[in-house]
Amino acid sequence: MSFGDILYIVAMFLFAYLTFGIVRNYYKKKFDDEGHRIDMYDKDEDVD
């Protein structure tokens, strides 16, 4: 394997890792601990 091939494989692993982290954090902020969407709550309504 040449240096370029190794660099390409490392770049693909980093890309996959960062993409997974971004998607995971996006959905972690979008839903509460019970799995309900945070942005669907009515502001005036008390959430139990």
Give me the number of domains the chain comprises: 1
Domain coverage including residue 14 = 1-28
**What is the model's pLDDT at position 24?**
92
pLDDT score of 37 more than 70: yes
The C-alpha atoms of residue 40 and residue 5 are separated, in whole angstroms, by 46
* The pLDDT value given to residue 13: 98
**pTM (predicted TM-score):** 0.60
Contact 28, 37 (CB under 8 A): no
* Overall average pLDDT of the 19-24 stretch: 95
Give the closest residue to 39 by CA, choosing from 29, 24, 21.
Answer: 29
Nearby residues of 2 by Cβ (< 8 Å), 6 or more positions away: none
Mean pLDDT of the residues in the chain: 86
Cβ–Cβ < 8 Å for 13, 5: no
Residue 4 lies in a domain: yes
**Residue 40 covered by a domain:** no
Distance between CA atoms of residues 9 and 42, nearest Å: 46
Asked whether residue 10 is assigned to any structural domain, the reply reads yes
